[in-house]
A and B are shown apart, each in its own frame.
Chain A
Amino acid sequence: MSTALHTEKQTDTSPFRPRSPVREMQRQTVNMLVIALCVLCVLFVVGVLIYLIVYVLKQGIAYLNLDFFTKLPRPNGETGGGMGEAIQGTLILVGLAALIGVPLGLFTAIYLAEFGRGRFALAVRFLVDLLNGVPTIIFGLFAWVLIVIPQQTFSGLSGGVALGIIMIPIVARTAEDVLHLVPNELREASLALGATEAHTIVRVVLPAALNGIITGIVLAMARVAGETAPLLMTAFGTTFWSTDVTQPMDALTLRIYNFTLSPYPEQINQAFTGSFVLIMLIVLASFAVRWATGGFKRRF
């Protein structure tokens, strides 16, 4: 038996080379074009995003200081001041919204993922998707009719309710998707030991889905933090410190809207500052939740 190494055959006749150089060129060109197209699109999107953030920052940087977070707006035409009450208001409103949206959304998701069978579940899922697509100003109208008119006052409560109802379908859909990802084997393991359905859901399924659910909740909160229209006729806005939810409450988006329409350049600049702070809040929330839940690592 020969132990000599095999010598490589001449590459010209190798079966591993293209047979038709012309077709090969065509394929290479098409391949390059498609990749180039994808890269161009990505560059465009990233470029727009970066341009947006840089522009907003440039316009608003003058007012980005500690005062912005701690002081109230100055009277028209005066320099200085901040949006302290707007930031506080946004935090309170989003907190209120979460109190309403998270339990209702989560339990809807649990119903759809764990129990829902048959036509009723299909109808529920359809309605949830429908709600997801409704223009948010309508939720504002809903809260206006339900709370503002009977109470005869704008209030943070009505704003929180409007935002909360917006949150419900967002939380429900993301939570349901995550619950569906939990493998059935885990449920069977629990049921086969004699566990009740409630115990299986609470002690086995939910902990496995928790990372995804928390991410979904925080992202939903970030989304409603950026809503303006539903707050126009509910929370209405104010330029004073207030934690009273039965009275008008300010929000970052309301203040930005208000200041953008203003003829005073200081206020327009501050609108940009507010926009930048809002964007950063959302970015921070996204990063924080990913860090806290260990990225997208699934616990099963």
Chain B
Amino acid sequence: MPLTVQHLDAWYGSKQALYDINLSFEPKSVTALIGPSGCGKSTFVRCLNRMHEEIPGARVSGEVLVDGFNMYASTAKARYVRQYVGMVFQQSNVLPGRSIFDNVAIGPRLNGLASGSSLQELVERSLRRAALWDEVKDKLNAPATQLSGGQQQRLCIARAVANQPQIILMDEPCSALDPISTLQIEELIRQLSESFTIILVTHNMQQAGRTADRTVFFLNGRVIEEGVTSELFSHPRKKETEEYISGRFG
């Protein structure tokens, strides 16, 4: 299920945020997007599940192909794209009025993926994959807001996984978490990449080094460089990449 981005531009009103992005993502891999604040990596990632267009005045042009099908085709509906490409946000946004079980089940219920006992199995599987099952199996009906920050973020991951996407986008999922929860989630990301294509936005270069197979460096709305993570960090080809990595800016 390769994901290919061709000539992607994006605007907020009249202000252009992304310039002619061309990238390819291999299935069942982890790709990290790094770059300084405001470089467009979050904007880019939101173009991959058609969430960018939810912002008033926002616009996208170009193509994003999944298995050869363009998600921005005029016949394509954003809702179906979003079931295919899931998202985990920076701040865990568990749905507050619902139980842990209902939070995970909302996606499958919505999209008619499972019901009854198969739904129960799907929820359990998703919670296991998010390394949360053991901690919540006795309180599935408790409100989701009772969980700690790290647990809530893992619940959001379980919720995304339960929706059975092929690709999971993660926009700085650990930035609001403590170091231990961060390492737990990084471990999760590596495990999940055995089944999903993961695209991870991070401002933490060490995190990219720890989790990603490939890394892309963004600057001012453009892709400066991309490649195998270890190569990018040890032998950057562009000057800007080298300067960012060595901490001279950003």
Contact = CB atoms under 8 A, between A and B. Distances in A.
Interface in B64-90: 79-83, 86-87, 89
A204 interface: yes
Interface stretch (B48-56, B119-127, B229-237): B48-56
A194 to B, nearest CB: 4
30 contacts: A117-B56, A185-B93, A186-B93, A186-B95, A186-B96, A188-B89, A189-B93, A189-B94, A189-B95, A189-B156, A189-B159, A191-B82, A192-B49, A192-B86, A192-B87, A192-B89, A192-B160, A193-B82, A193-B86, A193-B160, A193-B163, A194-B81, A194-B82, A194-B83, A194-B163, A195-B79, A195-B110, A207-B97, A208-B96, A300-B96
A192 B50 CA distance: 9
Given A192-B49, A194-B111, A195-B79, A204 B159 contact: no
A193 B89 contact: no
Interface string A82-108: 000000000000000000000000000
Contacts of A190: 95, 106
B43 interface: no
Nearest to A183: B93
A27 interface: no
Nearest to A117: B56
Given A192-B51, A193-B82, A185 B110 contact: no
B149 interface: no
B27 interface: no
Contacts of B156: 189
- Select the residue from A188, A192, A207 with max chain B CB neighbours within 10 A: A192
A74 interface: no
Contacts of B6: none
A90 B111 CA distance: 47
Given A192-B89, A192-B160, 17 more contacts: A117-B56, A185-B91, A185-B93, A186-B96, A188-B51, A189-B94, A192-B49, A192-B82, A192-B87, A193-B107, A193-B159, A193-B163, A194-B79, A194-B80, A194-B81, A194-B107, A195-B110
A76 interface: no
Nearest to A206: B97
Contacts of A185: 89, 91, 93
Given A117-B56, A188-B51, A193 B96 contact: no
Contact of B83 (A183, A189, A193, A208): A193
Nearest to B88: A192
A258 interface: no
Interface in B133-156: 156
A199 interface: yes
A195 B86 CA distance: 12
Contacts of B79: 194-196
Contacts of B54: 188, 191
A249 to B, nearest CB: 39
A204 B95 CA distance: 7
A299 interface: yes
Contacts of A117: 56
A252 to B, nearest CB: 37
B224 to A, nearest CB: 28
A61 B104 CA distance: 58
A116 B160 CA distance: 29
A145 B86 CA distance: 56
A192 B48 CA distance: 11
A114 to B, nearest CB: 11
B96 A299 contact: yes
A155 B160 CA distance: 56
Given A185-B89, A192-B87, A208 B97 contact: yes
